[in-house]
Structure 1
Amino acid sequence: MSLSRRGLLAAGGAVGALAATGPTASAAPIAAPIAGPTAAHSGRRRVRTGFDRLAADGYASLSGQRVGVVTNPTGITQDVRHIVDVMHADDRVDLIAVFGPEHGFRGTAQAGGSEGRYDDPATGLPVYDTFGKSGQPLADIFTASGVETVVFDIQDAGARFYTYIWTLYDCMQAAALVGKRFVVLDRPNPVTGRAALGPVLDKAFATFVGREPISQAHGMTVAELAGLFNGEFLTEPVELETVRMSGWRRSDFFDETGLPWVPPSPNMPTPDTALVYSGSCLFEGTNLSEGRGTTRPFELLGAEGIDRRWAEAANALELPGVRFREAYFAPTFSKFQGKTVGGVQLHIHDRESYDPVRTGIGLLVTAKRAWNAFAWRPDNWIDKLTGSAKVRTMIDSRAGTDEVVGAWQGELAAFRSVRKRYLRY
């Protein structure tokens, strides 16, 4: 499987670079927070985001440009003001449009939804809907808005199937089609940037939860991903500038950054959710609840008829850094709405050793063996999430956790060799 349209996996292949680099509710049980140091006790100085540095530089890179911003509720300053409000009030920025992704600019829509086209009541700015749009239709929106420079500032969750990184990709591609500049303001990967984990997407399975062949947990920041997209995957690279953070290290979990957390989407309430998401989101591809409609989405998993045998089987795997508690909960929406279901709750006791993707596979393997009614979604959504049919077919063939995880090590090693050339921290 090719990782790049430009053959960068071939020996001696050239690697593209950035075009420019910017300045250096429910009856669910409530668990204790995932173990780890808090920012207040870590002794780390505060991380300055890309927007912080852009503003400190007087918005020099946006001078003389008509600007539009792709953002959502996570686009905030250290004092939790939204960057759109801040920029709109600053005469040094000619901000003329906002572009909303999945869930919308103000974040009111659930998964698979958006807020549509409207004028923002707070600023009067036109808000355009990007969700579900790509290519020329999205490029036409940029043209109609009158912007010359598109700015991207959204907090990611670190998983390939979290759609904001593909909003980034689609917007970069569309901006290139109509000759717009593109500026990415960087924010931390909330689950660290230490490693890429999991299977790599097969292009035959490309969707909005995975456009290009990257690993399931990519271990990159959005600015690093922008460089990767521009250098590896976009047929027509965009005029790209990235504004880096300062004070961030690849080993940082989000609570070590000193930054305020805003849920990037309705079912990503805390950094704890992000820590498990790249593995437990795989349960979206099954008939089990992935915990939507509870106070601990993606940490609570279950279905009607599951008992303690699942937790016992999962704990018997001795997966690093995590234990599983027999749990019962009643989702207020989504799968099993209003019904009491049984399952497990993930409790991470050592986040340094915890591997979310291996854990997700182990839970799938044990769920299928512990619950006779286990089934994949009829549309084989699991294939879109994992990036190929291999995980599904191997589990159906009764492969164990180690066997499934071992099957993607070659493609993962190849992706890691490309990824490292785009790391900026």
Structure 2
Amino acid sequence: MDKLLPMLRNKRVALVVNHTSIVNKKGTHLLDSLISCGIIVKKVFAPEHGFRGNADAGEQIKDGKDNKTGIPIISLYGKNKKPSKEQMADVDVVVFDIQDVGARFYTYISTMHYVMEACAETGKRLIITDRPNPCDYVDGPVMKSALRSFVGMHLIPLLHGCTVGELAQMINGEGWLEGKKKCPLTIIKVKNWKHGQPYSLSVKPSPNLINDHAISFYASLCPFEATNISLGRGTRTPFEVLGAPDKKYGEFTFTPVSLVGFEKNPMHKDQLCYGIDLRKVQSPKGFTLKYFIQFYNKSGQGAEFFTRPRWFDQLLGDASVRKEIIEGKSEAEIKAGWKQGLTKYKKMRAKYLLYTE
């Protein structure tokens, strides 16, 4: 706050924030802190899951007002993913403060991209209050341009190994904004953290990432959303269990239900699912296809296992992964095909790192 406040004095401010935008151990929200310091906050732009972080994945977020402060809230998840020129007209500076988890398809970084674009087009400065990456690995396939979508806007690996501040520098530096425009950018760096150091989140970054263990499995399990395998949405252990209503998938059982604060309408709702329990399994050190290949083989369905093949390809960012799984290739064989792309990415990434020894 000491660095941020002087940048905002006598400025009209817009915030891109959610429930993770906490500024002290008391759990004070950035919005409340800025208002108490006399900062003029004109509006809040809300990402996926909403300003308070309680909307389901994929659920459309509506415009409204914050009940506590009366500040207007404008959704950036739904039809409007990018602040319009009209929405930017009455602000001088935008502050982005959201906790990311290091996965390319986690949509907060896509929201950041569009905010950067809006700032570049209107000449407004974006201030990023940076936060550590809790899944700080470079792994997985590098995105192919033909598969770009809101769950993958940048030609980066599935686990990109950057903070949002570093990624914003990369977006600017590599000319990834529309028309290769540059966003006026200021990054307030994290103190007392370097790449490679573990980081535990005090607030769950989205409804179904309830602890550090689930976050570590998130990137590897999320592709199951392109199949009929439940990854535990509708339980109190999402991203820590896997299964479906078929005994062939394992002896462990769970039943997804409608859970407020987790998932209102989960896959296989009220059905007994059979599968595996990952709660005591060691966290993966990066991205793994181990569990996906295991369930694919147990299914005996071949290509039909992919109920949404295009969605799987968009999540992975490379259509060859699905084809190679169907062909029966091992994880090691599939990963070997990513090596060259990852080597090239790491060289490019090095230019933008802020937290190295």
Would the TM-score normalized by the shorter structure come out above 0.5?
yes
Equivalent residue in structure 1 for 2:292, among 358, 364, 368: 364
Structure 1 CA distance for aligned equivalents of residues 99 and 118 of structure 2: 21
User: Are 1:327 and 2:272 counterparts?
Assistant: no
Query: For each residue in 1:316-363, what CA deviation from the matched residue of structure 2 results, as whole angstroms up to 9, or x when unmatched?
Result: xxxxxxxxxx52111114211100111112246555xx33422xx121
Segments of structure 1 that go 5 or more residues without pairing to the other structure are 1-54, 312-325
Identity in percent = 35
Q: TM-score, normalised by structure 2?
A: 0.91
Residues 132, 193 of structure 2: 8 Å contact kept? yes
What is residue 337 of structure 1 aligned with on the other side?
269
Query: For each residue in 1:274-307, what CA deviation from the matched residue of structure 2 results, as whole angstroms up to 9, or x when unmatched?
Result: 1111111111111211211111111111112143
Structure 2 CA distance for aligned equivalents of residues 356 and 336 of structure 1: 28
What is residue 86 of structure 1 aligned with on the other side?
33
What is residue 272 of structure 1 aligned with on the other side?
213
Structure 1 CA distance for aligned equivalents of residues 104 and 5 of structure 2: 31
Q: How does 1:134-149 map to 2 (within 5 A)?
A: 138-144=83-89, 146-149=90-93
User: Are 1:204 and 2:146 counterparts?
Assistant: yes
In the TM superposition, residue 159 of structure 1 has moved relative to its aligned partner by: 0.6
Q: TM-score, normalised by structure 1?
A: 0.77
User: Are 1:104 and 2:29 counterparts?
Assistant: no
Secondary structure of 1:377's partner? coil
Residues 200, 215 of structure 1: 8 Å contact kept? yes
Q: CA RMSD in A?
A: 1.8
Secondary structure of 2:287's partner? helix
Say if 1:104 and 1:275 are closer, same or farther in 2 by CA, change over 3 A: same
Q: How does 1:258-337 map to 2 (within 5 A)?
A: 261-307=202-248, 326-332=251-257, 333-337=265-269
Structure with higher RCO (Cα < 8 A, 6+ apart): 1
Structure 1 CA distance for aligned equivalents of residues 88 and 79 of structure 2: 14
Letter in 1 for 2:128: V
Q: How does 1:225-264 map to 2 (within 5 A)?
A: 225-232=167-174, 233-234=176-177, 235-255=180-200, 261-264=202-205
Structure 1 CA distance for aligned equivalents of residues 339 and 34 of structure 2: 45
Residues 306, 371 of structure 1: 8 Å contact kept? no
Secondary structure of 1:56's partner? coil
What is residue 335 of structure 2 aligned with on the other side?
405
Query: For each residue in 1:10-31, what CA deviation from the matched residue of structure 2 results, as whole angstroms up to 9, or x when unmatched?
Result: xxxxxxxxxxxxxxxxxxxxxx
Residues 253, 274 of structure 2: 8 Å contact kept? yes
Structure 2 CA distance for aligned equivalents of residues 411 and 223 of structure 1: 22
User: Are 1:384 and 2:314 counterparts?
Assistant: yes
Structure 2 CA distance for aligned equivalents of residues 345 and 58 of structure 1: 44
In the TM superposition, residue 389 of structure 1 has moved relative to its aligned partner by: 0.7
User: Are 1:154 and 2:154 counterparts?
Assistant: no
In the TM superposition, residue 254 of structure 1 has moved relative to its aligned partner by: 2.2
What is residue 176 of structure 1 aligned with on the other side?
120
Residues 134, 171 of structure 1: 8 Å contact kept? no
Say if 1:141 and 1:156 are closer, same or farther in 2 by CA, change over 3 A: farther
In the TM superposition, residue 379 of structure 1 has moved relative to its aligned partner by: 4.8
Secondary structure of 1:403's partner? helix
In the TM superposition, residue 133 of structure 1 has moved relative to its aligned partner by: 5.3
Segments of structure 2 that go 5 or more residues without pairing to the other structure are 258-264
